[in-house]
Amino acid sequence: MSILVRSPGDLGDLVGKPGETLAETLRRTLLDMIVFGYFERGARLYPEKLAEHFNVSLTPVREALMRLAAEGFIEVIQRRGYHIRDPDAKQVLDLWQVRLAIELMAGELMIERLKDGTLDGTAIDRIEEVQRRLEVDPQAISHKDRHEQNASFHHQIVELSGNALLLSTYRGIQMQVLNAWIQRGIESWRGRHASEAVEHRAILAALRDRNPNDYAKAVREHLGRSLKDALADLKARNLIEELAQSRT
């Protein structure tokens, strides 16, 4: 049985990054394929087929699949193998709550570093450059590009906190990946560019002012709105996919 994908050409290329193990490269590649809709909803993933496609042994494929299962992107069903999992409202809420705690702490630490001089103010310029790229042509940007730029905006704040454990935890929850996963197949995210830009600019202003209270207020407003939209997107996506299935 073949791997269920939208078209054979959609399968990702296996391109490693410096320092990555083969299993990590496979995990990252498969995660992109899951998030951006290369696999059909509920598709079964066959380790043997994946190993054949990527021309690798079964061991790193199984390791990558088990990591994705632990992160909640696929599920392991006894005697039925690995299957693509759909995000649910509880998963979204839990991860958004963790994200809020991490980003609040990261911003507070970043502001402390800016105040005591251990972090140069030009660091904020790099975050602002990401925001400028998001604003260049918001109606033409692809979902994947928008996801990557938005992820970079938030990731840089956590990185600039200077706390390696905080950054590792943030990477581990796959927050931005989940957001893209929820939005797969719908276009409602395009209508949010203006409000998102205002919210991002408020976060940047608070960082420039070294004002932790304004930063906390801006982040709470941004992530609160983002959570409501994510839950609405999840509901809309599920309805669309259920309707499509009923017609087949």
Ordered domains of the chain (ranges, CATH): 8-84 (1.10.10.10), 89-246 (1.20.120.530)
Beta pairing class for 81-84 and 44-45: antiparallel
Placement of tokens 């692809």 in the chain? 142
Write down the pLDDT at residue 5. 39
Walk along the chain (248 residues) in steps of 10 and give the mean pLDDT of each run: 40 69 90 80 90 93 93 85 85 88 97 97 96 88 82 95 93 64 62 89 98 98 91 75 57
- Whether residue 110 contacts residue 207, with contact meaning beta carbons closer than 8 Å, is answered with yes
| Identity of the residue numbered 243 | L
Write down the pLDDT at residue 127. 97
Write down the pLDDT at residue 3. 40
- Whether residue 74 contacts residue 85, with contact meaning beta carbons closer than 8 Å, is answered with yes
- Whether residue 73 contacts residue 31, with contact meaning beta carbons closer than 8 Å, is answered with yes
